[in-house]
Structure 1
Amino acid sequence: MVDREVELPPIVDLTKPNDARVYDYLLGGAHNFAVDRELAKQAVAAMPIIRQVALSNRAFMHRVVRVCVQAGVRQFLDLGSGIPGVGNVHEVAQAVDPRCKVAYVDIDPVVHAHGQLILADTPNTALIHADMLDAPAVLRHSAVRGLLDFDEPIAVLALLSLHFVPDERDPEGALATYRDALAVGSLLGLSHPAGDTTAAGVSEAIDVFSQGHLVPVARDWRRLTGFFGGFELLEPGVTRVPRWRPDREGAEDAPVNGGLGVKTSR
């Protein structure tokens, strides 16, 4: 099952692959087209572990969201969310507590077009068409302010999204702005391709994905740990995502690091 052309606005060009739809396909989602599946197959051929990367990151997100809800957090701000389908944040959180609220943020108009259809009848959710690095604009957005209460803890997530941000755009600065706006007890969940991976086909996969006009940047464990400035990392700290509080034994490794931190003071 895939999106039907008649449901989508003209901004959705079915002749060009889209990174978010490629990721949706790798996860087994329905919001992709032939051109996206072809690019995904090229990426898998170049780097066979890439589907496992997507699935491991999604499983990590599920565990992170459940930990946040168990900690009493009922609000989520998902930065660089991609298409909000295939067991995304609102589904996981609201399965535990239907009162959970989720604001998705993505700059891609194609993501917005698909997401508006997906979330049309879903309460307590919003999809914001904005640049996640423009933290002041996101934080003052009427949909964000209308949905989330910044006097209460919020879980901010940036899962496999910061690797599309070059250093010159200062991802640490954006994260610091979000941090300063959050109440004590808020959480930050991050995941990022590992800069120390020995997985075969990484450079080839990057070449493939450059067709989608986004060139991923790998960063090492130390750099990702630095993104948690002002947050206290929860056990087991920053680690490969399959090893972060695994809920099953024998999970395959994936060259992605991740962690979850809590804001303990102003």
Structure 2
Amino acid sequence: MDDNQERQDFDLTESDEQLSADEKTLLDELGIVGAARRKFLEQNMAAALGTFAFHLLAKEEVFATLAASPDAVFASTAGVENAVKVLLKINGSTQRLEVDSRTVLLDALRERLGLTGTKKGCDQGQCGACTVIVDGRRVLSCLTLAASCEGKEVTTIEGLADADNLHPMQAAFIKHDGFQCGYCTPGQICSAVALLQEAKNGDVSHVTNNLRTSPQNLELSDEEIRERMSGNICRCGAYPGIVAAIKEVHSGRETAQTRHFASDEEIAIAFNEGKADEIV
């Protein structure tokens, strides 16, 4: 007898021990033995648990409708610890919040103001998905205390478009397919918008050729854009489209797309070349 058979016999014996003598006799008379008996017991147990759960839920619903006793004592609702009042200007709208002094800007935006466009990625300042613009400069909202933004202008992805008119950077991202899953895109776009302002101000980067001078309106090369956007990670790998989108908005000149939908002639040529290869 193999191990599986021994284990099955043991399980059946264990199940039989839970039955009364009358139950065993009834199952024997019905011809329910062996594996069939075990399956029968399992199904009955599942049905019993389902019935119990149904009755329990019904009782809970009844209890929920009952009025509380006049002498009932309820635990007090926990308030905000270390509360501080913060005045923020979010996307042009003034917002007054009372938050825990340890609340980060990301959580205040998402949980308190419902601005869920800003994404929580790593929550450690490593991926850039939570990037927003504060007083014209990009910041990682997961590492920025909400209280530190008192009186400052905060712009999130929701505040870039003008009603139904997309921000030029948003339109360029769509044109050049600068996103795939879209999760990092809000942070990418906010970072790119602030990047253009940095170039306009003459802020240098690690790859800027001349660090002695800080000219206004820096001309951004592909290398400059990649370096300045290196803090924003795209797990889908849409970096070429992101660089092309930023370059187009920065230069004001239409950037040629590196891909296009194949025409009928190109498809025909591809098929003919394939048939030629098969012949060879």
- Report the TM-score when normalising by structure 1: 0.21
TM-score for the superposition, normalised by structure 2 = 0.20
**Whose helix proportion is higher, 1 or 2?**
2
Structure of higher CA gyration radius: 2
